[in-house]
Structure 1
Amino acid sequence: MFQVARRRPLLRRRIGKPSSAGGIVTPPYPSPGPRILPICTSSAEGSDVDDLASEISTLLSSTANWTAAMVATDVPRRLSPAAVSVVLRQRDRGRPVDPKRLLDFFYWSASQIDAPHALESFAALAVTLCDSALFAHANCLLERMIKTYSSPSAVLDSVSRRFADGSRSDPAVFSVLVDTYKKMGMLKEAVQVALLMKGSTFAPSLRCCHALLKDLLRTNSMDLFWKVHDFVSTQLNPNVYTYTITMEAYCKDGNVDAAKNVFLEMEKKGCPPSAVTYNTLISGFCKVGALEDAFRLKDAMVKKGLVADDYTYGILINGLCKNHRSQEARKLLDEMLVVGIKPAIVVYSSLIDGFVRESNFLEAFRLKDEMVTKGVRPNMYTYNSLIRGACKARNIDKARELLGEMARMGWKPDIWTYNTIIEGYSKVCDSQEAFRFLDEMKKQNVLPNLYTYSLMINGFCARGESKLAESLLMEMLATGLEPNAVIYSTLIAGQCREGRTIEACQTLDKMVDGNVHPDTFCYNSLIVGLCKAGHLDDANKYFTQMQVRGLSPNIFTYAALIDGHGKSGDMLGADELFQRMVAQGIKPNNEIFTAIIDGYCKSDNISKAFFTFHSMLGNGLLPDIQMYTVFIHSLSKSGKILEAFQVFSELEEKGLFPDVYTYSSLISGLCKSGDIAKAVELHDEMFAKGIEPNIVTYNSLIDGFCKSGDIEGARKYFKSALEKGLMPTSVTYTTMIDGNCKAGKTSEAFLLYNEMLSRGILPDKFVYSTLVSGCCKAGDMERALHFFNEMLPKGFATVHTFNTLIDAFCKVGNPNEATKLLQVMLDKEVMPNNATYITLIDGYAKAEDLEAASTLFKEMIANGILPDEMTYQLMIQIYCKGGNLDEALKLHHAIIAEGRQMSSAAYVELVNSLCKTNNISKALTLLDEMAEKGVTPSYSQCMMLICSLDAEGLPDEANQFLNIMQSNNWVPEYASVSSLTDGGLHVPNVEIAR
């Protein structure tokens, strides 16, 4: 059946017998510690000790209440370790004392003497106890002995001498000694004691050695295991258990061939394998995926007359499930039931887990129902597997249902359960529920572990909520958990995606300070983010730092840096990096090639782009057609359509055949440049050549038609893609929804949204934003809020989304509802910007609620958002209109102090208000300031100021203003106060000025 391979020697020899003289053969080993000799005394002292020992022995053997008898004499005062030792060694001198009484005396005497008992006393009593089969008492005594004397060699030496002193000593004392070390958790010392007996006339029993081997195997102390194995092979005769545990050790190491050889050898030596032996080897086969060998062994087992039990079936079913063969495992379960073996919970749980791993959730739940009907109660492992399956299928409601059922069955969720649920909510982008479960597990005293926080941080970063991820990182550190490089890398990548590169750099620095070593992936995340943000100096700094730390940049590192340098116009730096990468043996990919060509195209260095292209083409870095396609794609993307067609012509002249990617690149470029007719012509050409357009081709055409406002044309190609059996992507639906919304066809957009969902395509941030914007544009605020409430828990709501809704509510005259959204923004830590506040301020101004507008402006300043010129000017007009001239003038000073320019409308509003308060000199100063700063009011604004002064009954001041206006050429020289006021504009109209 199997071939025999060389292996460790098996257990062969018995131990030797005692010598005829009854003495002990000196062990052939050097003692690791100093030999502890028997207690020596002078002759006079020895006589006194012997007398005392004789007196104590008499009291112990003849007096029932020996303790009281001794206390009544001077024995306690005269007691010494030497006297106790003599008493304990008198067992073979005609004065037998009950061993239990000797043990009581030993413990009592310890309380009477300041010094510890002699090592020989412990040893003599231990031997005596074992001779009387009082093994439990011997075990307790030896434990005390080991705690008192730490040297295993000294302890063994002492016990061996006392064992040799007795004519009827029981060698079980050596097994008890090894067991004591083992029970105290001192496995290394237990092995040392056992090995020190090698070559002597005494040794631990085979049972003792088996127990030691089992513990060594359990604790994965394989070096010690094989040392004891070698000891047993030279000292004792193996039995079926010895062979079985040896096979188990080989299987644990994954060395199934050696285990097979042991199995064959034991049969040769006439030691028939037991059912446990067969199960051990079957389990080993299953662990390494050798399932056919496992099944052959099961058949051989049955032929030998042994019965395959529930354990045999269980390990085979588990093996099949682990190897994604759950349907076969199901058949084996049916076989169990046929032969009358009731499957245990572990069998059902293995099968359920197997079906979940293979995403066969229906069968997993069917099996759970079956086990319940057969009276098998699901356990924690069963429920955890089913919850994982429900979460994997994104059926969180089912997972919650199972959680409730689990609680009713008396099982409390563990860390694994909570982590699975949290991961499930992360997958469906529901951060609120994920946080709720994090709080729940803490309340249930289930402490979150590294994986819990890793899931949460990854989920938040994926949804653009890196600030929440940062707070979780701080919580981790506060609880004493040390984040690893993966968690830090995830956070850095999330911060970079949100443009928070300063925080990302701080995170990496914090990581290094915490003695967590960043890996290449971590540096890549930061370098990619810095390059995208245009911070090339910082990116280059970390590029150097990673190499100083001994990390090698990979293709992703170079791709980010080359792209970053290219986009910044530093093609010299990009080319230098490219050459360095190639010199390191890293072959460039499409992305890097595109970045180089894109860089030259964007810097209008087309000749260099062509030179680089032909150079790379000559070096054969990529297949020819692939190189041409990438170059055409780069030119088309950069708007160099004529050049792209030149390369296309060169491609055809060389006899190369353009593929769908080549045509799609050209069509995309044409659509972006607005040449839809040419794009359609190219589409028809590729079709005529037998090149089937793919969904990317159709996406470009649909986008082109939508951007040109031809929604019908877009719908035509969308329908065409479906008719050709192409599956629309998220990009397809997003483009169509956006096009319909912009065309005011929101009902069509909703139909497309529902169709998208029915196809299992999850809407992204852009789809939701488009729908919200479309609903706001159509005035359908109810539906806009519906989509907004859907995107909010998913973390998709951005400042742009909030601003769109705020603007819509303000336009319909409902600034109060808009302000509620501002509070939601702050609660969700979405920072409002200038646009948010100016929209709200303008909304309240139009609603004549100037106090609310002023409050919002102050709140804006308090939140650290600096107003722009438009905000300042709007507030000046609001303050003037509300009669708060002092605040308006303060804003005017602030604008001038910051070196900003005020608009003519703001100046006119201030001048008009000053005139109304009869502050003509200040008004004239502002008119001069306008002239100095080159701010020219319109004719209407000038006319409004003159009319205002005339209406106030200030004709002289009106003439003064007119002279300044005429001198600055704001009004014609022939104009007069009467001509400007004759138009009937005696009442100032502020709205005209605005």
Structure 2
Amino acid sequence: MKATLLAASGQTELLLHGRLLCQCPSRHYHTSLRRHLSTESDVPPRDDESVVNQVLNVFQTPEPRDLDQLHPLLFSESTPSPSRFLQITRRFASSSLALEFFDYVKAKLPTKQYPSLSLALQGVLEVTSREPNSQNRLLELYRTSREQDVPLNVNGATLLMRSFARAGMVDEALLVFKELDASLKNTHVYNTMVDVLLRSGRTDDALHVLEEMLKPDVEFHPNDVTGDIVFGEFFKWGKLGRSLAEEEIARLAMELCKHNVFLDTIKLTQLITKLCRNGKTGRAWDLLYDVMKLGGAVDAAPCNALLTGLGRKRDFQRMNDLMAKMKEVEIQPNNVTFGVLINHLCKSRRIDEAIEVFEGMRGRTENKEVYVEPDVISFNTLIDGLCKVGRQDEGLSLMEQMRKQNECAPNTVTYNCLIDGFCKAGDIDKALEIFNQMNKDGVLPNVVTLNSLIDGMCKHGRISNAVEFLYEMQSKGLKANAVTYTSLINAFCNVNNIDKAMQFFSAMLSSGCSPDAIAYYSLISGLSLAGRLDDACFVVSKMKEAGFCLDLVCYNVLISGFCRKNKLDKVHEMLNEMEQTGIKPDTLTYNTMISYLSKTGNFGTAHRVMKMMIKEGFTPTVVTYGALIHAYCLNDNVDEAMRIFREMSSTSKVPPNTIIYNMLIDSLCKNNDVEVALSLMDGMKVKEVRPNTTTYNAMFKGLRENSMLEKAFELMDRMIEDACNPDYVTMEILTEWLSAVGETVRLKHFVQGYEVSASTA
């Protein structure tokens, strides 16, 4: 055996070659004897205390010691108590003295006294572990014991495993576990090893050890301590080693359930919540049902977590099944349970079912077994659901019930739900009436109240009232936020009052509110449509300073605005910026460019842009073709316009619409190509494109210029058949022409029964 050096205070180093159990018998011990090593009591009988003290006194005397006097103390009995040797060994002040005593015991013990020897070894290990930097000495002692077939007991093994783990020697700890006799590997040993591995970040090794415990033929199975160790580590955030996915934890939990080891309520709820959030409601369902089936303690909390997950998936069948299961195993639903059901039923617009659940929790249905007094959250959830489907009057009735119950009085959320509901329904006066009641009841409004009323007023044409209300609330100390200002900015942009929109944008900045992307987009769009491109660019710069990026809609609005202002350089700047930021043009971008280029006579570039559009996977729309046709018509190039029209009709999947026909018919008539225009109108009938008043007006003008009276009569009859009402332009053309040729009777017959509409020119 290798030499072991143990330094003793004030003594010369001892060379311990072969001291440890040189006379130890072979390793083939009887299994029952080994089991005894793991169960021997550490507590000595009271009459052993004097023996312990006498032995310690002998070893505290300077050398040479008279060790013969120890024999009658230790071995006078036929079978000395094994725990006596542990109690003596562990009370030595140094490992060298403990080892010296161990050598004496080993030399004097009768054969096959393995429990006594193992307990004495345990004491040596305990004393050594208390000394600084002892891990290498412990490792040497362990190797020596293995070489000399000294059996470790359970406590000695777990002491070594933990000592090595604390020193970062996890492989050595795992070696002790693997080399320990299988008959000694009880639940405590397994738990210690799993704990050591998990704390050291060796997740996969820990799982391997745990799998051994879960085998059906293993005598020692997991217990509650196992569960505490395993789940205590796996539920830690930022733990060392590989983190287990929630599905792996669920699988382990289900395996441990079979051994009556269950997650506590908090951890079970956390695991079910995490599974459901990651879309694994099926696994969460199986886990909860296994715990219930195998007798684990389950209360409403984990059931509520699963109900929430099922609600997100709109799986109402399983929600009902879970409620039935809760009843079967006598789990009492609470306010949260019913709140989850009501909330998800309301979100799915199944309001009548939500009301049924609400009444059921109050014991107002046929089945009166469950009675939970609704709290303010349950009331508010149902009121909000009713308001969102336009049943705000029923919500108002519920609030009146709350007002009669002092313990469940309406709060700010209650009033906000109703105010928002009536505002969205356009009943601003009723919303203001509820707001006034809110103030009378002493319930303080908040910024949500303010925003609901201002947004409602703005969207229903009461912008000035919204502004007055804002100033009134501000005078009472209620501050507006970004949503408030955005509603007003949107409203003023929609009525083209850009100055007022900019005024509120400035007020928003000066009040310390950070505009959101919607506020910027609204203002940029309004300024661009109003032709105030410089102001729009200023807002864009502010938006970028705030960390927001332009989106495709904003770029399209700006490009369209710059095209209208004929600022091609700015258009190119926008397109380059889009390319740099990775935003690809869409159909609207291409159509805007094609329309602009066509109107400015740059037809070559317009066609190149159209080819690029097709290359990028966008199909030209009726707007694309219409822009080109309209531009050619404006440039008196009807032949090219007709070529595009024929190409559009034959090769594209986009059929011409009434507007395109009208542009061509009008241009053809102005160029005296009335026959071609008439053929186009006949084509409209074949392709079931309905002509409108503008179509007929263009034809009547062309026919009048070419004195084609009979054709005009035909079109007048067709116009009546199509139920296409003439406007003042139609009547002006026909009255002047038909009166001049003496056809007033035909004219009277034409207008009979018509209500002449306003001009659509």
Interval containing the TM-score (normalised by the shorter chain): 0.5 to 0.7
Letter in 2 for 1:286: C
SS at match of 1:289: coil
For the Cα contact (< 8 Å) 1:565–1:573, is it kept in 2? yes
* Cα offset, 1:590, TM superposition: 0.7
The 5 Å alignment of 1:558-569 reads 558-569=661-672
For the Cα contact (< 8 Å) 1:53–1:86, is it kept in 2? no
* Cα offset, 1:568, TM superposition: 4.5
Corresponding position: 1:139 with 2:235: yes
Residue in 2 aligned with 1:475? 577
Q: Deviations over 1:126-159 (max 9, x none)?
A: 9856854996634239999996679x4x764543
Letter in 1 for 2:233: H
Query: CA–CA distance in 2 between the matches of 1:658 and 1:166?
Result: 89
Aligned partner (choices 295, 316, 336) of residue 241 of structure 1:
336
Residue in 1 aligned with 2:165? 67
Q: Deviations over 1:738-772 (max 9, x none)?
A: xxxxxxxxxxxxxxxxxxxxxxxxxxxxxxxxxxx
SS at match of 2:618: coil
Corresponding position: 1:188 with 2:291: no
Query: CA–CA distance in 2 between the matches of 1:319 and 1:613?
Result: 57
Residue in 1 aligned with 2:658? 555
Residue in 2 aligned with 1:590? 693
Query: CA–CA distance in 2 between the matches of 1:157 and 1:620?
Result: 77
For the Cα contact (< 8 Å) 1:127–1:170, is it kept in 2? no
* Cα offset, 1:342, TM superposition: 0.6
Distance 1:349 1:169, change over 3 A: closer
Range 117-126 or range 476-485, more displaced? 117-126
* Cα offset, 1:312, TM superposition: 0.8
Corresponding position: 1:580 with 2:683: yes
The 5 Å alignment of 1:83-122 reads 90-91=186-187, 103-108=195-200, 110=202, 117=208, 120=211
The 5 Å alignment of 1:313-332 reads 313-332=415-434
Corresponding position: 1:362 with 2:362: no
Query: CA–CA distance in 1 between the matches of 2:183 and 2:506?
Result: 70
Range 450-459 or range 616-625, more displaced? 616-625
* Cα offset, 1:398, TM superposition: 4.1
Residue in 1 aligned with 2:561? 459
Residue in 1 aligned with 2:398? 297
Residue in 2 aligned with 1:423? 525
For the Cα contact (< 8 Å) 2:692–2:724, is it kept in 1? no
Distance 1:589 1:331, change over 3 A: same
Letter in 1 for 2:235: N
Distance 1:229 1:453, change over 3 A: same
* Cα offset, 1:378, TM superposition: 1.6
Q: Deviations over 1:244-301 (max 9, x none)?
A: 3223223223333333343344441443433222222221222122222222332234
SS at match of 2:293: coil
* Cα offset, 1:441, TM superposition: 2.0
Query: CA–CA distance in 2 between the matches of 1:410 and 1:195?
Result: 51
TM-score between both structures, scaled by the size of structure 1: 0.52
Distance 1:76 1:156, change over 3 A: closer
For the Cα contact (< 8 Å) 1:286–1:316, is it kept in 2? yes
Residue in 1 aligned with 2:271? 177
Letter in 2 for 1:110: R
The 5 Å alignment of 1:585-664 reads 585-602=688-705, 604=706, 606-607=707-708, 610-617=710-717, 620-622=720-722, 626=726, 633-634=732-733, 645-646=740-741, 649-651=744-746, 654=749
Question: Gaps spanning 5+ residues in structure 1: where?
Answer: 1-47, 663-693, 697-730, 732-994
For the Cα contact (< 8 Å) 1:195–1:228, is it kept in 2? no
Residue in 1 aligned with 2:259? 165
Q: Deviations over 1:868-917 (max 9, x none)?
A: xxxxxxxxxxxxxxxxxxxxxxxxxxxxxxxxxxxxxxxxxxxxxxxxxx
Question: Gaps spanning 5+ residues in structure 2: where?
Answer: 1-145, 216-220, 328-332
Residue in 2 aligned with 1:14? none
The 5 Å alignment of 1:686-725 reads none
Distance 1:584 1:655, change over 3 A: closer
The 5 Å alignment of 1:825-904 reads none
For the Cα contact (< 8 Å) 1:635–1:643, is it kept in 2? yes
For the Cα contact (< 8 Å) 1:380–1:411, is it kept in 2? yes
Distance 1:523 1:622, change over 3 A: same
The 5 Å alignment of 1:686-835 reads none
Letter in 1 for 2:393: E
For the Cα contact (< 8 Å) 1:254–1:284, is it kept in 2? yes
Q: Deviations over 1:360-396 (max 9, x none)?
A: 2332222222222222222111222233344445454
SS at match of 2:744: helix
Distance 1:58 1:623, change over 3 A: same
Distance 1:69 1:365, change over 3 A: closer
SS at match of 2:512: coil
* Cα offset, 1:340, TM superposition: 0.3
TM-score between both structures, scaled by the size of structure 2: 0.66
Letter in 1 for 2:319: H
For the Cα contact (< 8 Å) 2:613–2:619, is it kept in 1? yes
For the Cα contact (< 8 Å) 1:321–1:355, is it kept in 2? yes
For the Cα contact (< 8 Å) 1:146–1:155, is it kept in 2? no
Letter in 1 for 2:384: S
Letter in 1 for 2:165: T
Aligned partner (choices 285, 299, 302) of residue 386 of structure 2:
285
Residue in 2 aligned with 1:797? none
Aligned partner (choices 312, 319, 336) of residue 438 of structure 2:
336
Q: Deviations over 1:659-709 (max 9, x none)?
A: 9979xxxxxxxxxxxxxxxxxxxxxxxxxxxxxxx9x9xxxxxxxxxxxxx
Distance 1:319 1:137, change over 3 A: same
Aligned partner (choices 385, 402, 420) of residue 504 of structure 2:
402
Query: CA–CA distance in 2 between the matches of 1:443 and 1:351?
Result: 31
SS at match of 1:452: helix
For the Cα contact (< 8 Å) 1:594–1:631, is it kept in 2? yes
For the Cα contact (< 8 Å) 1:495–1:501, is it kept in 2? yes
SS at match of 2:521: helix
Number of aligned pairs? 593
Query: CA–CA distance in 2 between the matches of 1:72 and 1:110?
Result: 9
Corresponding position: 1:351 with 2:442: no
Residue in 2 aligned with 1:8? none
Letter in 2 for 1:276: I
For the Cα contact (< 8 Å) 2:165–2:196, is it kept in 1? no
Query: CA–CA distance in 1 between the matches of 2:182 and 2:585?
Result: 58
Letter in 2 for 1:208: P
* Cα offset, 1:67, TM superposition: 2.5
Letter in 2 for 1:358: H
The 5 Å alignment of 1:237-276 reads 237=327, 238-266=333-361, 267-268=364-365, 269-270=367-368, 271=371, 272-276=373-377
* Cα offset, 1:311, TM superposition: 0.4
Query: CA–CA distance in 1 between the matches of 2:568 and 2:420?
Result: 41
Residue in 1 aligned with 2:15? none
* Aligned Cα root-mean-square deviation (Å): 4.6
* Cα offset, 1:589, TM superposition: 1.0
For the Cα contact (< 8 Å) 1:59–1:70, is it kept in 2? no
* Cα offset, 1:516, TM superposition: 3.4
Query: CA–CA distance in 2 between the matches of 1:178 and 1:442?
Result: 42
* Cα offset, 1:549, TM superposition: 5.3
Residue in 2 aligned with 1:44? none
Q: Deviations over 1:524-568 (max 9, x none)?
A: 444444444435445554664477554444333433343344444
Distance 1:660 1:545, change over 3 A: closer
For the Cα contact (< 8 Å) 1:353–1:382, is it kept in 2? yes
Distance 1:84 1:498, change over 3 A: farther
For the Cα contact (< 8 Å) 1:122–1:141, is it kept in 2? no
For the Cα contact (< 8 Å) 1:632–1:644, is it kept in 2? no
Query: CA–CA distance in 2 between the matches of 1:127 and 1:176?
Result: 21
For the Cα contact (< 8 Å) 2:384–2:417, is it kept in 1? yes
Query: CA–CA distance in 1 between the matches of 2:693 and 2:723?
Result: 11
Q: Percent same amino acid among aligned pairs?
A: 21
For the Cα contact (< 8 Å) 1:566–1:574, is it kept in 2? yes
Query: CA–CA distance in 2 between the matches of 1:440 and 1:359?
Result: 29
Corresponding position: 1:371 with 2:477: no
Residue in 2 aligned with 1:384? 486
